[in-house]
Structure 1
Amino acid sequence: MDIKTAGALRRLRLVSAPEAVSFLVLLLCSVLKRTTDFNAVPVMGAVHGVLFILYVIFWADAWNKAKWPLKTAALYFVLSILPTGGFFAERRLRRESEDALIASRARNEGIVNA
């Protein structure tokens, strides 16, 4: 994995968990808006919107650089739509980057001829 691909995956991984948290907080604010006088939906909606747009931009960049198959790219996009999907995306991306790092070190040491 080259450095640009690793950077793209890292950016996507770093924004996925905050995006998931903002989605859950936005859902909580929506419930509170309807059950109490507390209304933080406009603020949390804007925060979540910015994080979601960043996720989609970083997702497209990672898809382009990592050359994911359509199935993998679709999975990461669907995870951005699910309320807790960002946590699963972050975990999968971390595992993917760790596996790529191990493979790269093995190639550098001549253990694997790939």
Structure 2
Amino acid sequence: MELNRQLTLFKWVSILEGISFLLLLGIAMPLKYLFDMPDMVRHVGMAHGILFIAYILFSLLLIRPMGWKTSTAAIIMACSLVPFGPFYVEKKYL
């Protein structure tokens, strides 16, 4: 797959992963714990998990083509664990 296509896909995965994380933390978790409605956590959590795995895989696949140092790759992957982190990666590194 060519680099431009990989970058485009990674940008979309990054944005969607960031949105799913915010939905999970900001909507699904309060619904579960404040209103005893766990269903949204199940659905949003599954989507977020799939997007998280895709984010990490794309990060690993892009290390060499993008010429990222190990420290840069580690920052990019660590940003997936922080709310708004994927948006930072999308703006700064892609």
Query: Fold conserved (TM > 0.5)?
Result: yes
Greater Rg over alpha carbons, structure: 1
Give the 5 Å matches for 1:27-42: 27=25, 28-39=27-38, 40-42=40-42
1:58 aligns with 2:65: no
Give SS of 2:93's match.
helix
Give the 5 Å matches for 1:93-108: 93-94=93-94
Shift of 1:51: 0.5
- Unmatched segments (≥5 aa) in structure 1: 95-114
Give SS of 1:83's match.
coil
- Unmatched segments (≥5 aa) in structure 2: none
Percent pairwise identity: 33
> Equivalents in 2 of 1:44, 1:9: separation in Å?
25
2:70 maps to what in 1? Answer: 70
1:18 maps to what in 2? Answer: 16
Q: TM-score, normalised by structure 2?
A: 0.86
Runs of 4+ in 1 over 4 A off after TM superposition: none
Aligned-residue Cα RMSD (Å) equals 1.6
- Report how many aligned residue pairs link the two structures: 92
